[in-house]
A and B are shown apart, each in its own frame.
Chain A
Amino acid sequence: MTTKKIAISMKGVYFGYTNTERVIENASITVHEGEFIGIIGPNGGGKTTLLKLLMGFLEPTKGSISIFGKSPKSYPNGIAYVPQNLRFDKLFPITVMELVLGGRLATLPWWGLFSKSDREKAEEALDKVKLSEFAHKPFGELSGGQAQRALIARSLASEPRILLLDEPTANVDVQAEAAIHELLLELRKHLTILMVTHDIRAVIRQVERVLCVQGQIDAVSPGELCEHFALGLYHFPLIQTPETHLKSNLGGGR
């Protein structure tokens, strides 16, 4: 039996935006290469903060994080990030190809022109997400599902080892959602994937482990998550604390 490499290691990580608050508290997780992880939790629970810590945009106040044994700040760190397409200005003048080439910035020479090989990599990524015919279309004219796939293509163009996705199926129609899930199933064969989502059905069907983020980070299997549901523990609270337990018993939720 071969031992899989450790892709992400977090040990005793604490983080807060001010000295007094703690958004992430004593988090220790290990993610192995090739795993498909779902990240769930209430709004404000620290999911986005967790992603920013992994990408090296934030520094833990205590504890350590390593990505394939290196600091997340050692760019390029093998991480690609797929944000929600709603974040972007639809009027921004950028074509789909220009967007995808954004995934090749790490190899851009000082004179600022992308090489033929960079363009080929971008075309391959577009082909993988089935958007080749949209290469010269404005990004703002794509549908929600197409825009999300274009953002996935940009991340693939950077040839990552770890893919972080922030609610990739939020605000897309059912067909687009199915296409994105199909794409992720294909990508999981050769990538480590961490996906923030509120789509619990997708989590239960697709991922191997679930990280429940609410200050602390607990890892559970999709099966255990189902048990949580059976007990009526979702949406609030997903993770039991004396305070949230009381609220859930009183019927509180958000």
Chain B
Amino acid sequence: MNSFFEALAVNQLLFFATLAGLAASVVGGIMGSYVVVKRISFISGSISHSLLAGIGFFLWLERAQNISWASPLAGALIASIISALLIGWIHMSYRQREDSVIAAVWSIGMAIGLLFMSQTPGFTVELANFLVGNILWVTPHDLAVLAILDLLVLGAVLLLHERLLAISFDEDQARLQGVQVHRLYLFLLTLIAVTVVLLMQVVGIVLVMTMLTLPATIANLFTKQLSKMMFLAVLLSALFSLLGTFTAFHLDLPVGATIALIAGIGYILALTVKKKSFKFP
């Protein structure tokens, strides 16, 4: 353990990676709780995978077309927000065929991303990094962007929590009370899209769903109030992130996959503990 903290002090990459993991844990735990209680894991999965289109396109602009401002992070953010709004519109307009259409957005997004990446020099390494994550790629600039996104999501949730709780539990009641349910739902998906980009930095596109849903699902086993569930989910997410980074550092494993696996083990342990009826105060 000591060598990990010593390495943190001297290794800037590891230090930034740990900070990114903790920053992502805060929003991941909070927004993941909405995803779990509103049962929109599939929608979130579609957002997280279709953002590859933005990464691929911006990477192609940056590397093949020499457009310097087109960073993969900006591409991911734009694509995830567009796909969130598109999926939200599909959810509200085509409920009967919703799952098929969302699956189409999921795969079309990935296909666009892969096609652009195939036209970009050195795409194989980049693709692996984006899909399974490489937290050590986080730059100080990325970290600053992540911190700003973190604060934006937190601020929005603080102001809108009661309304988001209402639309998560009973949309009809919220609508009767004059809440703009559709607009708020689209906004919730946009916040999830931003969260997905934050988590992508840590665990990669393929494993985002693990970090978005598992800490919140575990927290839901032990809490009966959404605010407490969020608090516990943030703690669990941070714990998994730290343990994962520590383990990966010592065993020379991929950080994202290690974090996701530890979260999975945590879930199995939680189900076992739950049998003993432990409750979070």
Contact = CB atoms under 8 A, between A and B. Distances in A.
Interface in A93-149: 93-95, 98-99, 101-106, 108, 110-114, 138, 140-141
Interface stretch (B55-63, B124-132, B165-173, B243-251): B165-173
A66 interface: no
A141 B224 CA distance: 9
Nearest to B175: A57
Contact of A112 (B160, B170, B229): B160
A93 B178 contact: no
A154 B166 CA distance: 12
Contact of A92 (B37, B160, B174, B179): B37
A179 B160 CA distance: 36
A93 B223 contact: yes
Interface in A217-246: none
Contacts of A197: none
Interface residues of B, number: 28
A92 B176 contact: no
A88 B169 contact: yes
Contacts, number: 87
A158 B172 contact: no
A110 B163 CA distance: 10
Nearest to B180: A75
A79 B176 contact: yes
B162 A101 contact: yes
A98 B229 CA distance: 14
Interface in B261-281: none
A194 to B, nearest CB: 14
Contacts of A80: 176
A112 B228 contact: no
A55 B37 contact: no
Contacts of A114: 162
Contacts of A94: 165, 169, 224-226
Contacts of B175: 55, 57, 75
Nearest to B228: A93
Contacts of B169: 88, 92, 94, 99, 102
A92 B38 CA distance: 9
Contact of A76 (B159, B163, B178, B228): B178
Nearest to A111: B159
B217 to A, nearest CB: 10
A54 to B, nearest CB: 11
A248 B151 CA distance: 66
A105 B269 CA distance: 38
Contacts of B178: 75-76, 105-106
Given A95-B224, A105-B173, 10 more contacts: A89-B39, A93-B228, A99-B169, A102-B166, A105-B162, A105-B179, A106-B177, A108-B162, A140-B224, A141-B224
Interface of B: 37, 39, 158-163, 165-166, 168-170, 172-179, 220, 223-226, 228-229
Interface of A: 55, 57, 75-77, 79-81, 83, 88-89, 91-95, 98-99, 101-106, 108, 110-114, 138, 140-141, 154, 158
